[in-house]
């Protein structure tokens, strides 16, 4: 029971309290959690796979071929990333402006990803502390997309280009300090 005093419960805090947090500490954070929208879209595509298979098998012409092709591409892409962890992005409920991130291994996920959206408690070990203005890419789908075998050379070059910042914004997330990266131990409501 003596170790429980070493756990810091974060809900309301200020810069002084934040600056006292050290790497390796265990934090319990009352948080507003979100998962990147692109991850949700890929999960939804996975849920529609049986319907798409049915439509293709029986040649039902309610769905356009271009829609089926796009859906198949999303399903193929989902398969590329299905073993990768899910990035959780969160802030404390009562003190916005201090950000956190954690990668949750899929093997420990029970239920749907929608269960992780909203308010909950994240219990984890401090892995890295980012100072104000420091940036760290939390996740990016671009390398996985570039690895897809059906892409043309032009499509691969477009993914590498910095010109399409809006699309890149939907395919990646960057954490900007002040922020902490945690190794999650538990996420619960």
For residues 92, 96, 97 and 100, what is the CA-based torsion angle, rounded to 10 degrees? 20
User: Residue 154: its pLDDT value, please?
Assistant: 76
User: Residue 179: its pLDDT value, please?
Assistant: 94
Find, among 67, 38, 37, 43, the residue nearest to 55 by Cα. 67
> Which 3-state string (H, E, C) describes the chain?
CHHHHHEEEECCCCHHHHHCCCCCCEEEEEEEEECCHHHHHHHHHHHCHHHHHHHHHHCCCCCCHHHHHHHHHHHHHHHHHCCCCEEEEEEECCCCCCEEEEEECHHHCCCCHHHHCEEEEEEEEEEEEECCCCEEEEEECHHHHHCCCCCCHHHHHHHHCCCCHHHHHHHEEEEECCEEEEEEEEEEC
Give me the tens of pLDDT residue by residue for the chain, a chain 189 residues long. 444 456 777 666 677 888 889 999 999 999 999 998 878 777 666 655 555 566 666 665 555 655 556 666 666 666 767 788 989 999 988 887 889 999 999 888 887 777 888 999 999 999 999 999 999 998 877 676 666 666 677 766 766 665 555 555 567 889 999 999 999 999 988
Cα of first residue to Cα of last residue in the chain, in angstroms, is: 23
User: Residue 66: its pLDDT value, please?
Assistant: 59
- Domain range spanning residue 22? 2-188
* Sign for the pseudo-dihedral over CA of 176, 92, 183, 16: positive
Six-digit token pair at 36?
């990147």
Number of domains in the chain: 1
Global pTM value = 0.73
User: Residue 99: its pLDDT value, please?
Assistant: 92
The answer to whether residues 77 and 171 touch, using CB atoms and an 8 Å cutoff, is: no
């Amino acid at each position: 029971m003596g170790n429980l005093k070493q756990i810091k419960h974060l809900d309301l805090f200020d810069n002084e309290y934040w600056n006292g947090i050290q790497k390796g500490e265990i934090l319990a954070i009352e948080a507003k959690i979100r998962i990147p929208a692109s991850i949700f879209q890929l999960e939804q595509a996975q849920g529609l796979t049986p319907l798409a298979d049915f439509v293709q098998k029986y040649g039902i012409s309610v769905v356009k071929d271009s829609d089926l092709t796009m859906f198949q591409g999303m399903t193929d892409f989902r398969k590329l990333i299905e073993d990768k962890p899910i990035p959780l992005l969160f802030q404390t409920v009562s003190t916005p402006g201090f950000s956190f991130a954690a990668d949750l291994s899929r093997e420990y996920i029970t239920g749907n990803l929608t269960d992780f959206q909203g308010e909950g408690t994240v219990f984890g070990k401090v892995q890295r502390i980012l100072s104000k203005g420091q940036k760290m890419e939390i996740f990016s789908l671009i390398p996985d997309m570039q690895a897809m075998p059906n892409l043309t050379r032009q499509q691969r070059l477009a993914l590498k280009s910095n010109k399409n910042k809006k699309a890149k914004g939907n395919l990646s997330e960057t954490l900007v300090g002040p922020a902490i990266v945690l190794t999650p131990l538990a996420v619960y409501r």
